[in-house]
Chains A and B, each alone.
Chain A
Amino acid sequence: MALQLNFPGMTTPIPMNESYITALTRGKNDIIFGGTSGTTAHIFAASIRSTSGIAVDFGGDSVSTECRGLTCTSGDILVAGVNTPNNGRLWTRNAMTAMPDCIQEWGFDVSQPKIAYNFPKGEKVLCLTTDTTTVFVIGLTNKHVFMFNPKSNTVRLYNKQNIIRLTNLGGGNVVALTSKGVVYKVETDKTMEIKFVALTKLDKCFTNKNVCISSNSIGGTFYIADGKGSIYGINLKKRNVKKVTSAHLRPVKCMTITNDGRLYGFCGDGMTNLFVYTPRTGEYKNLGVAVSVLNLRRYGYEFSCAVTGHDGELMFGENDRGGCLWAYFPKI
């Protein structure tokens, strides 16, 4: 089901040239936050819970054109990592923690994000997420690993150490992947010190462009796909790694795990295919091209990000002109 980035029947969507969805995260009460790219970057909140079924545009600044990540801290601050043509930026605003009744008498805080931090010219944000404490934000630029304190709007920089991706899998588990295939568990504390604890090493070298990490872990297991579409399952507790399957197309664009452990993702260029891997049986299945006939009648061809909702529903960000937030309800 494709959801346009608006209040259906009430508001206009985020303009088509500005609605390539490139980042998603899940906040309190199953509110999904997203970031877009295009001629102007936006951040938005969306929900399909209760009486909602809407998206609310929070806008952006007039310069940023790309959102590379966003996350909600435990202090209910929404932090987005965006890029202008010249440099990276961090935006903050209050995270929406509940949706109003969207059948009658609604009202929203639609304040725009504030520019909380500017990286120097030439330094671009690649990704970010909340840290182990969930108080701070940890992220990656093309030059550094950084930590951001959203209360003081301060950033501390660290050596990049060949890290190409950082992801918060939930449950306090933040992992980092290096271009040498080393997977770290990233531990932080209240003093913003970072400790990288090696979990395992993949027998692969990666480039930032092609690697994909699942947005979450279930039962301690998460997944990494390399540029050839090989998918590895990694157990955080056992610290072991195993190639579990291969996507039928490459590259893998995004992956997320539903509550029973099944892995879903999109793969391929130009016209992506949805796939599912079932760890219990080892079965891999191509589910084909996405199409929505409820709410919006639309094909879905390009996806770049995904999160799993509270009840195991999957939310995918369509990285396309006129991009929508897609909800997929896995087969029971």
Chain B
Amino acid sequence: MKITMNTNPAFSTNFYQFTKYPKSDSGWGLSTGPEGRIYVSVCHECIPGGTVIVARYNETKDDIDYLFDVSEVTGDPVDSGRATQCKIHYSFVPSQDDGILYCATHLSGPPIDLKAYSPWLFWHDKTKCFRGSELIAYDTVKDKVLWHDIIIPKEGCRCLAFDSKHKQLYALSYPRDHFIIYSLETKTRRDLGRIGSINSQVIFLDKHNRAWMTDDYGHMIRYNPDTDILEQSTYVLPHEPYQTGWHSVLYDVVASPDGECVYITTWSPAPRLIRFWPTHGEFGTVEDLGCATQSKRNTAIPFSMFLDHSGGVVFGNDGNLYYGHSRWDDDNNQNSDTNRQFKNATGAVVQLNPQTLERKEVATLTRPDGAAQYISRGARDRNGDLFFMNVGRLPVGFFKMTMPGRKESSNSHLPLRIWG
């Protein structure tokens, strides 16, 4: 359902709520499909026997089309007694050549007869353990699921990336945080081993098809398909001086339009905005662009990571970077009724000029029931409009931000982002 929230003619925003699924409690994944339409995951991760629905924004109807129920297409029913196929995290990846959108499921939704699911407790339980992350190939031309396969047994897929040159997908498993390579040609998987305990929330590729992620302590981890090994940087990603770098893992990454560098937000309190040049130097070059949220703060307070958050990095066709960030009024008032939506918070879209690095808020993100301070992912559709997924009160939904000077076309979504 569409709800108009911000009528600023320059960057007007509408909120599209998953009202058909009133218990949808999260919607982590949002991605541009290979044809330039926007795909989202409608997740049910907190209710027993929940499932995830893959949906798409319909620009003609200006509404949401719900495409398929993952539990049904994978034959993993919600009443199986196992943890369910409840969500798709940062695991939508489009394949431009053949029009396929790949997605992989994540875990955490409890079995139908339990209130909560622990992947540690139930790892060895044959009746309750999650069957595994399902990789689904969806044909966006014929609008049908072509095939599905378990990409990670017993674990969820936290994030996914697509290496079109080598015809393989890269994934990070949860909870064991293993780096997985899945060959689309042989439909086989390889496990290159553990990274740490905190998943990097994204794997991105550079122009040499090397896959990048982070370990728990903010070191960059690089997979080189030519050598087939994982390498680790000696440096740690930027963080506040009072922090150690622990938990400075990648949260969201977008490539610049020319593909030479990427813009990163980290998944840590006081998240960092970083410009990273992966092909400069032996292990890339890091540019610290400072705190991505509210830098003025009481550094003795542990902020909720649902309040202190930045994500949804996406380039507009105007050459500027856009991303969601949060700010708040009072450090000591982290008042939340859902733990994911905060009464004194503000969510906004920031515009950053890559040449001058000047930043400014261009739109506030407001739902009918309050601020939308948590943006997980952003994407640009074929008309050049920007979309931002919000995680907050249920039912959740996403924002569409109409860009000034937009022109309806069929290719304004290019170049495609090939990681979730």
B124-A297 in contact (CB<8A):
no
In whole Å, how far is A293's beta carbon from the nearest beta carbon of chain B? Answer: 11
Which residue in chain B gives the minimum CB-CB distance to A269?
A: B124
Say if the beta carbon of B246 comes within 8 Å of chain A. yes
Residue of B175, B216, B232 near A297 (CB, 8 A) is: B216
A301 vs B234: C-alpha distance when bound (angstroms): 25
Query: What 0/1 readout, one digit per residue, does chain A (1-41) give for beta carbons within 8 Å of chain B?
Result: 00000000000100111000000000000000000000100
A143 vs B124: C-alpha distance when bound (angstroms): 36
A322-B123 in contact (CB<8A):
no
Main secondary structure of the interface of B (DSSP, over half): loop
In whole Å, how far is A97's beta carbon from the nearest beta carbon of chain B? Answer: 32
A289-B194 in contact (CB<8A):
no
Which residue in chain A gives the minimum CB-CB distance to B234?
A: A12
B193-A297 in contact (CB<8A):
no
Within 8 A of B (CB), among A273-311: 273, 288-289, 297-299, 301
- Chain B residues near A15: list those with CB within 8 A: 232
A17-B229 in contact (CB<8A):
yes
Say if the beta carbon of B197 comes within 8 Å of chain A. yes
Chain A residue total in the interface (Cβ 8 A)? 19
A299-B197 in contact (CB<8A):
yes
Q: Using known A-B contacts A17-B230, A288-B120, determine if residue A301 contacts B194 with beta carbons closer than 8 Å.
A: yes
B230-A16 in contact (CB<8A):
yes
B interface residue count range (under 10 / 10 to 19 / 20 to 34 / 35 or more): 10 to 19
Query: What 0/1 readout, one digit per residue, does chain B (231-242) give for beta carbons within 8 Å of chain A?
Result: 010100000000
Residue of B154, B175, B196, B229 near A39 (CB, 8 A) is: B229
Within 8 A of A (CB), among B188-211: 193-197
- Chain B residues near A322: list those with CB within 8 A: 194-196, 215
Main secondary structure of the interface of A (DSSP, over half): loop
Say if the beta carbon of B176 comes within 8 Å of chain A. yes
In whole Å, how far is A237's beta carbon from the nearest beta carbon of chain B? Answer: 37
- Chain B residues near A39: list those with CB within 8 A: 229
B123-A17 in contact (CB<8A):
no
In whole Å, how far is A91's beta carbon from the nearest beta carbon of chain B? Answer: 24
Which residue in chain B gives the minimum CB-CB distance to A12?
A: B234
A315 vs B37: C-alpha distance when bound (angstroms): 54
Residue of A271, A320, A321 near B120 (CB, 8 A) is: A271
B154-A270 in contact (CB<8A):
yes
- Chain B residues near A320: list those with CB within 8 A: 193-194
Q: Using known A-B contacts A249-B124, A297-B216, determine if residue A17 contacts B246 with beta carbons closer than 8 Å.
A: no
| Among B175, B196, B215, residue most surrounded by chain A Cβ atoms (within 10 Å) | B196
A288 vs B195: C-alpha distance when bound (angstroms): 21
Q: Using known A-B contacts A12-B234, A39-B229, A322-B196, determine if residue A299 contacts B216 with beta carbons closer than 8 Å.
A: no
- Chain A residues near B195: list those with CB within 8 A: 16, 321-322
- Chain B residues near A12: list those with CB within 8 A: 234
In whole Å, how far is A40's beta carbon from the nearest beta carbon of chain B? Answer: 12
- Chain A residues near B215: list those with CB within 8 A: 16, 322
- Chain A residues near B194: list those with CB within 8 A: 16, 301, 320-322
Say if the beta carbon of A53 comes within 8 Å of chain B. no
A301 vs B195: C-alpha distance when bound (angstroms): 12
B175-A299 in contact (CB<8A):
yes
B124-A271 in contact (CB<8A):
yes
B residues near A, CB below 8 A? 120-121, 123-124, 154, 175-176, 193-197, 215-216, 229-230, 232, 234, 246
Closest A-B pairs by Cβ, 9 of them = A321-B193, A321-B194, A271-B123, A289-B120, A298-B197, A299-B197, A320-B194, A249-B124, A301-B176
Contacts A39-B229, A271-B120, A297-B197 aside, 18 further interface pairs with beta carbons under 8 A come to A16-B193, A16-B194, A17-B229, A268-B123, A268-B124, A270-B123, A271-B124, A288-B121, A297-B246, A298-B196, A298-B216, A299-B120, A299-B197, A301-B176, A301-B194, A320-B194, A322-B196, A322-B215
